[in-house]
């Protein structure tokens, strides 16, 4: 992970085009970006590791990353459960509560991302309620979509299992 030389102005269009930040003004985006850092990750580099403390949130600008979880009964075996690309967030639970990471996230290719320290982002969202509302609404929509997908995958797995 290496800091990127991206300017705040260069990051703003990607932020404002995202579903997570849809509805923010340019001034509100500036407030969010003031506490953010841009980073570059090489192929195979970890953004976060399962079981580590939730301490940061990443917004993917370019490239894709894999979300991996350990397999039950074999802590050394990792399984890819999702691939995340530009315009998406990983580590969003860090905004909601401080817990342990539920998955490992690894760059699938060279990747650029905006990183917020969780406590700084929480402070902005609670101090600027209008920004907090927009961001939390975006997170709720995305988490709801992910829950529907997970439920459908579970239903399909259970249906396939019952056929045997």
| Distance spanning both ends of the chain, measured CA to CA | 46
How many other CB atoms are there within 10 angstroms of residue 136's CB atom?
15
- Per-residue pLDDT tens for 120-141? 999 999 999 999 999 999 989 9
Q: What is the dihedral of CA 72, 143, 36, 132, to 10 degrees?
A: -140
Cβ atoms of 36 and 102 within 8 Å: the answer is: no
Q: pLDDT-derived band of residue 99, with 50, 70 and 90 as boundaries?
A: confident
**Which residue segments constitute the domains of the chain, with CATH numbers given?**
2-154 (2.60.120.10)
- Per-residue pLDDT tens for 16-71? 999 899 899 999 999 999 989 999 999 999 999 998 888 899 999 999 999 999 87
pLDDT of 142 strictly over 80: yes
Q: pLDDT-derived band of residue 3, with 50, 70 and 90 as boundaries?
A: low
Cβ atoms of 40 and 4 within 8 Å: the answer is: yes
Task: Give the integer Cα–Cα distance in Å for 7 and 118.
Answer: 21
Task: Give the integer Cα–Cα distance in Å for 89 and 18.
Answer: 10
pTM, two decimal places? 0.85
pLDDT of 143 strictly over 80: yes
Q: Which residue has the higher pLDDT, 150 or 61?
A: 61
Q: What is the mean pLDDT of the chain?
A: 88
Q: What are phi and psi of 91, to 5 degrees?
A: 85, 20
Instruction: Please state the separation of Cα 107 from the chain's center in Å.
Output: 12
Q: What pLDDT is attached to residue 39?
A: 94
Q: What pLDDT is attached to residue 5?
A: 58
How many other CB atoms are there within 10 angstroms of residue 134's CB atom?
20
Q: Which residue has the higher pLDDT, 149 or 24?
A: 24
Q: Would the CA dihedral through 121, 125, 127, 130 be positive or negative? A: positive
């Amino acid at each position: 992970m290496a800091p990127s030389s991206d300017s705040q102005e260069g990051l703003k269009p990607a932020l404002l085009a995202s579903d997570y930040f849809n509805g923010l003004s340019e001034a509100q985006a500036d407030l969010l970006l003031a506490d953010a850092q841009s980073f570059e990750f090489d192929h195979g580099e970890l953004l976060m590791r399962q079981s580590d403390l939730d301490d940061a949130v990443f917004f993917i600008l370019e490239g894709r990353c894999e979300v991996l979880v350990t397999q039950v009964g074999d802590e050394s075996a990792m399984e890819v459960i999702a691939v995340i690309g530009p315009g998406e967030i990983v580590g969003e639970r860090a905004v909601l509560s401080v817990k342990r990471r539920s998955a490992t996230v690894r760059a699938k290719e060279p990747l650029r991302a905006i990183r917020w320290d969780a406590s700084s982002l929480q402070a902005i969202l609670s101090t600027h309620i209008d920004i907090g509302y927009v961001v939390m609404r975006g997170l709720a929509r995305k988490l709801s979509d992910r829950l529907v997908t997970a439920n459908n995958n579970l239903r399909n797995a259970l249906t396939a299992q019952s056929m045997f």
